[in-house]
Structure 1
Amino acid sequence: MSRTAATAARSRWLKLAWMIPAALLLLAAVVLAARWLRETPGAQDFLAAYPGHSALPDGAPVGIPAWVGWQHFLNSLLLLLIIRSGWMIRTRQRSIGSWTRNNKGLIRTKNQPKRMSLDLWFHLSLDVLWVLNGLVFYVLLFATGQWMRLVPTSWDIFPNAASTALQYASLDWPTESGWVSYNALQLLSYFSIVFIAAPLAILTGLRMSPSWPAKAPRLNRAFPIQAARALHFPVMIYFVLFIIVHVTLVLATGALRNLNHMYAASDGTGWTGFWFFAASVVIMVAAWVAARPIFLRPVAALTGKVGR
């Protein structure tokens, strides 16, 4: 590494180092402000009127079925690799190789297949698997009635979400009953991920992909690629922030029970869910390590020509 590059890297780390104590000070200020606010009579009346849970519709299912667990794992694995490959596309300066689709078999085109980077091929391949997994999830969600646990059906969801946020911020956290229903803030968060962020990521990603029709002037004017690029990266950041907060709260608000909900289809406090979670983490770490050119090239070569 040259002296200039080393100096630039050191400067970036120094800026990052200053962000850590600043974030801690901001967090402390938020906690103190929330604790003070909770002691005021108006806030106490508000918390009594809106404890943080919005009533579910009649007939809403109780409990989390096993299919949610394996869907959660597959979604987590694919999303982790999608974020990794997307970041590589955005930041990698030196190409690790290229991929060109074979113009034969089930998919044939008159035009010469476009060449893309190996990172982009990996990203798009993961996208396809993620979309297929998502379609299965949507079908099961509505077929089993589990959608009632994720879709707000009353306007009191918003004051209840504000109540939950105040309780979290004051570190006097709300009572969790995720097996029966999510609190209002969880419900809004999950709804935004499943029904807003995920479709938006798919739509903007499709707009930027080679699969988008180039000879569709009206469609392209209605949804310009600049708009897709402006939205796609912030959506990824939203996913990252959601994952950080989600994992933190899962582990901090009754880890064993929460992991049993997510991985063992159980409301108990045993260790079954934890061991499934631990195994899933091992698989995700192995997949992260395996997502390297030495492993990606032979896989990509099964469906196309891989170049340097």
Structure 2
Amino acid sequence: MPEGQGVGIPAWLSWTHFLNGFFLLLIIRTGIRIKGEKTPSGLWSSKRVKKRRMSLTIWFHLVLDAAWLINGVVYVVLLFATGAWVRIVPTSWEVFPNALSALIHYLSLDWPTHSGWTGYNGLQQLLYFLIVFVASPLAVLTGIRLSAFWPRDDRRINRIFTVDLAKAIHFPTMLFFVGFTIVHVGLVLATGALRNLNAMYGGQDAVNWTGFWIFVASLIVMAAGWIAARDSVIAPIAGRFGDLRMRPKR
């Protein structure tokens, strides 16, 4: 990275990182449910546009998408406003041989020497760039295409950007996020857990338990969100923003 730039993990980065993980977890949860849901537990429609009906699960999925998107926009704005963009945007072609070298180290279980506090290695930088500027926009664009808010009357754009194409991109993108998260968390814990967690959650470049316990607290919040993401909790909220008709339980 450019000398003297992008050093340290500011508080806003830690918060947006946590919120990204929190919303993404629930988005994946609702996405899996949508994939296997044959009979919706309830149907939601806007009070203004009665014709656009969707299942309660899809409504919650879209609400989470909107929250995740807002958090992402805040992250990107602050990323460029503070100059922290140099952490994940390559500024030299040397990133590619560096990434290859890091990949060989990881595959051989001989962890490459690096410090997330001062910067990322080439492989991390490329993957984070891919997540933020490629995979996330793809997830948003295809998600909008599959939603009830997409303009159905525009035949030209619908002929080019079909529902089948959106589905072919949207679900694999979710799988990419899942795979990345599993590997990412695994490597954070395997390559110096206390220091890595302290950098992201504790806001300091030190080896102590501060970041670890904040990380544990964040996992508890995520688990609570996962448990709370059920119809009995979501339905009353959805009913405040539109017309909701729940199917009677058998």
Cα distance in 2 between the residues matched to 1:264 and 1:58: 24
Report the CA distance between 1:93 and its aligned residue: 2.7
Cα distance in 1 between the residues matched to 2:165 and 2:33: 21
Report the CA distance between 1:58 and its aligned residue: 4.5
Report the CA distance between 1:268 and its aligned residue: 1.0
1:208 aligns to 2:149 (yes or no):
no
Cα distance in 2 between the residues matched to 1:241 and 1:152: 23
1:159 aligns to 2:104 (yes or no):
no
Cα distance in 1 between the residues matched to 2:39 and 2:230: 14
Contact 1:262/1:273, CA 8 A, preserved across alignment: yes
What are the within-5 Å matches in structure 2 for residues 40-189 of structure 1? 56-58=1-3, 60-103=5-48, 109=49, 112-189=50-127
Cα distance in 2 between the residues matched to 1:153 and 1:131: 26
Query: Structure 2, unaligned stretches of length 5 or more?
Result: none
Cα distance in 1 between the residues matched to 2:37 and 2:153: 30
Report the CA distance between 1:264 and its aligned residue: 1.7
What are the within-5 Å matches in structure 2 for residues 272-287 of structure 1? 272-287=210-225
Q: Deviations over 1:6-46 (max 9, x none)?
A: xxxxxxxxxxxxxxxxxxxxxxxxxxxxxxxxxxxxxxxxx
Q: TM-score, normalised by structure 1?
A: 0.78
Q: How many residues align?
A: 246
2:88 alignment partner AA: L
Report the CA distance between 1:286 and its aligned residue: 0.5
Query: Structure 1, unaligned stretches of length 5 or more?
Result: 1-55, 104-108
Alignment match of 1:235 (pick from 167, 173, 197): 173
Contact 1:102/1:113, CA 8 A, preserved across alignment: no
Contact 2:195/2:208, CA 8 A, preserved across alignment: yes
Cα distance in 2 between the residues matched to 1:223 and 1:97: 29
Contact 1:150/1:187, CA 8 A, preserved across alignment: yes
Q: Deviations over 1:215-260 (max 9, x none)?
A: 1122222322221111000000000000000000011111111111
Contact 1:201/1:236, CA 8 A, preserved across alignment: yes
Alignment RMSD, CA only? 1.2
2:26 alignment partner AA: L
Q: TM-score, normalised by structure 2?
A: 0.95
Greater Cα radius of gyration, structure 1 or 2: 1
Alignment match of 1:194 (pick from 132, 135, 144): 132
2:211 alignment partner AA: G
1:223 aligns to 2:168 (yes or no):
no
Contact 2:198/2:208, CA 8 A, preserved across alignment: yes
1:65 alignment partner AA: P
Aligned to 1:259: 197
3-state DSSP of counterpart to 1:301: helix
Give structure 1 regions of 4+ aligned residues with deviation exceeding 3 angstroms: none
Q: Deviations over 1:125-158 (max 9, x none)?
A: 1001111111111110000011111011222211
Report the CA distance between 1:290 and its aligned residue: 0.6
Cα distance in 2 between the residues matched to 1:75 and 1:116: 25
1:301 aligns to 2:239 (yes or no):
yes
Contact 2:145/2:163, CA 8 A, preserved across alignment: yes
